[in-house]
Structure 1
């Protein structure tokens, strides 16, 4: 793959976005409390690679813990389409798009995206948890 523009949206379509991302760079799945419950599959991009097309007023924000991420979700259908935040160790400002919300990827493209697992449950973000099959 190379940098490609993808379109994403929540389930009801009120929140939609475009994102430019090279998915060969990988994606992440985490076992922290929120990612595990959501089964979130994220790809991180710089804010300039993300364009919210609709739904700013239709999103709600959830934060917890260090409040380093604003988990944005549609207040109508509840889908967590993306999040924004700032973490110095990963390069500062970021947007994490939920790959499950990408509308224009083929099954083959989804299957080819490398996945990095993170042990967020134990604040060991740069190591994979012992068990990842459920993530």
Structure 2
């Protein structure tokens, strides 16, 4: 299935393909403050509908994850990084997806604070 997503102001948009079988709620310092629910997909399944230069990037700690957000409204739409195998991954903020009933998707807790 293809999902459409965007930031709050609609300035940045994207589409992502896949099946959402669960979401991840991480308790690390940024995720707990941001409150996002994450859906992890291979980066190749994410397609930006607006130019990448319209997004801002934030990194911290090991600087391996690029947290991407709208430069206008500040909403975090997704993050980018790689897994141990070297595959590029995207962590989609499911709260930015259109027409998704988040209450119907299982949530797995991840203890990112302990990393």
**Structure-2-length-normalised TM-score:** 0.93
Which structure 1 residue ranges, 4+ long, deviate > 3 Å from structure 2?
Answer: none
Ranked by relative contact order (alpha carbons within 8 Å, sequence separation 6 or more), the top structure is: 2
Q: Which of 23, 43, 47 is the aligned partner of 1:51?
A: 47
Structure 2 unaligned regions, length at least 5: none
1:127 is matched with none
> 1:131 aligns to what?
none
Match status 1:36 vs 2:32? yes
Looking at structure 1, the residues matched to 61 and 87 of structure 2 have their Cα atoms a distance apart, in angstroms, of 18
The answer to whether the 8 A contact 1:8-1:16 is kept is: yes
- Residue 96 in 1 paired to residue 97 in 2? no
Shift of 1:104: 2.5
* Mapping 1:1-135, distance limit 5 Å: 4-24=1-21, 26-88=22-84, 92-105=87-100, 107=101, 110-123=102-115
How many aligned residue pairs are there?
A: 115
Q: Which runs of 5+ in 1 are unaligned?
A: 124-135
Return the alpha-carbon distance in structure 2 between the equivalents of residues 111 and 80 of structure 1. Answer: 20
Distance in 1 (CA, whole Å) between partners of 2:89 and 2:82 is 6
Q: Return the index of the structure with the highest Cα Rg.
A: 1
Alpha-carbon distance in structure 2 between the residues aligned to 1:9 and 1:101 = 6
Considering only aligned residues, what root-mean-square deviation do their CA atoms show, in Å? 1.3
Offset of 1:77 from its aligned partner? 0.1
Partners of 1:63 and 1:75 in 2: CA distance: 15
